[in-house]
Amino acid sequence: MEATRAKIRAFLAKFFQHADLKDSDDIFALGFVNSLFAMQLVLFIESEFRVTIEDDDLDINNFRSIDAMAQLIERKTTSHLAM
């Protein structure tokens, strides 16, 4: 899970250059988030972690923080492996 968090952190650093993001920080509350960023985030998660983000995953709480995204990826990876 820490490797996942590190990759997300590195990706977010491109967008939140002046913020020292903690894993639990709410990125929506910090601002700088627009629809274009959200889509880039979805594409990043899909390509980097080989998962597919679907309609049911589109809950803002899944993308609110580094921790939340890491948990989403963990769930998606686990469910994929279980199939």
Partner 1 sequence: MQTTLTDQQQSAQARFKAFVRTEILPHADRIDQEEYTPRELISKMAQQGFFGTFLAEEWGGTAMDMITSGILHEEVGYGCSSLRSLLTVHSMVSYAIQKWGKAHLKARWLPLLASGARLGAFALSEPHAGSDAKSIETTATLQGGSYRLQGQKKWITYGQIADVFLLFAQVEGKVSAFLVERDTPGLSIIPIRGMLGTRGSMLAELHLQNCRIPAENLIGGTGFGLASVATSALDIGRYSVACGSVGIAQAALDASLRFVHTRKQYGAFLKEHQLIREMITNMQTNVSAARLLCRHAGYLKDIGDPTTLMETFIAKYFASTAAVKAANDAVQIHGALGCSNEYPVQRYLRDAKIMEIIEGSNQIQQIHIAQYSYQQHR
Helix (H) or strand (E) holding 41: helix 35-49
CB within 8 A of 79, min separation 6: which ones? none
Instruction: List the one residue from 58, 61, 75, 78 that touches partner 1 (CB under 8 A).
Output: 58
- Position 20 contacts partner 1 (CB under 8 A): no
Nearer to partner 1, 30 or 39 (CB): 39
- Position 42 contacts partner 1 (CB under 8 A): yes
Distance (Å, rounded) from C-alpha 71 to C-alpha 5? 9
| Residue 42: closest CA among 59, 25, 30, 29 | 59
Instruction: List the one residue from 6, 24, 39, 75 that touches partner 1 (CB under 8 A).
Output: 39
Nearer to partner 1, 2 or 55 (CB): 55
Helix (H) or strand (E) holding 80: helix 66-82
Residues that bind partner 1 (CB under 8 A): 14-15, 17, 35-36, 38-44, 46-47, 54-55, 58-60
